[in-house]
């Protein structure tokens, strides 16, 4: 696949920085306090949604000072594109979650189709309760019916975002903040 690296660089050069790393880290620490208050003592399974929630999970986990297990799921609708399509599973939740508390960690709650599908898979596998923690909750009216995150880092306007785990055409997950593509 040929990538126009000039375009990729231009995207970040022209992007609007909505949140810098310091604000994101503070939001993650606040979320850790909320999650600890709710889940300490339940020995939950935290499932990181790959690849987007990798940065979020990596920063959140050391802030949680209670017994927990960590796993991952990988489901995507984007596959390098800037618009979602059909859900494609690369790694499903564990087959037996009987009686477990599960916390799904995701980078963003946009329309929520992927997050809703992961939640349903966990419930089918027998999870007692499934909660969701997202770094960013994008504000718009297109969310999957009734889907809300239990824990939210920050809210964002309805634009195409990247950075801190979120990508633009597979790039800039490593950007040190949340950026919005200019004009989108």
Using the predicted structure, report yes or no on whether residue 68 has a pLDDT greater than 80: yes
Q: Has residue 28 been placed in a domain?
A: yes
Residue 124 covered by a domain: yes
Residue 93 lies in a domain: yes
- Residue 49: inside a domain: yes
- Within a domain: 162: no
Q: Which CATH number does the domain housing residue 49 bear?
A: 3.40.50.2020
Strand 45-49 to 69-76 pairing: parallel
- Band (pLDDT 50/70/90 cuts) for residue 143 is confident
CA angle 89, 167, 56 (to 5 degrees): 80
ω before 31 within 30° of 0 (cis)?
Answer: no
Query: Does 9 map to a domain?
Result: no
Structural domain count, the chain: 1
Single out the residue of 131, 152, 154 nearest to residue 39, CA to CA: 131
Band the pLDDT of 83: cuts 50, 70, 90.
low
Q: Is residue 12 part of a domain?
A: no
Range of the domain at 123: 17-80+87-156
- Give the Cα separation of 183 and 46 in Å (integer): 35
pLDDT at 11 over 60: yes
């Amino acid at each position: 696949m040929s990538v126009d690296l000039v375009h990729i660089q231009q995207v970040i050069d022209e992007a609007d920085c909505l949140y810098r790393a310091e604000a994101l880290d503070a939001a993650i620490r606040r979320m850790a306090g909320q999650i600890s208050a709710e889940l300490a003592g339940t020995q939950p399974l935290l499932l990181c949604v790959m690849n987007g929630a990798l940065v979020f999970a990596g920063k959140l986990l050391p802030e949680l000072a209670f017994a927990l297990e960590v796993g991952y799921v990988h489901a995507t609708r984007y596959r390098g594109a800037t618009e979602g399509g059909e859900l494609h599973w690369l790694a499903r939740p564990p087959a037996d979650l009987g009686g477990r508390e599960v916390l799904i960690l995701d980078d963003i709650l946009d329309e929520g189709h992927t997050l809703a599908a992961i939640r349903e898979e966990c419930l089918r596998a027998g999870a007692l309760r499934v909660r969701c923690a997202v770094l960013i909750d994008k504000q718009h009216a297109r969310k999957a019916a009734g889907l809300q995150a239990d824990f939210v880092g920050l809210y964002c306007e309805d634009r195409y975002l990247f950075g801190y785990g979120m990508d633009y055409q597979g790039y800039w997950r490593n950007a040190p903040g949340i950026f919005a593509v200019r004009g989108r």
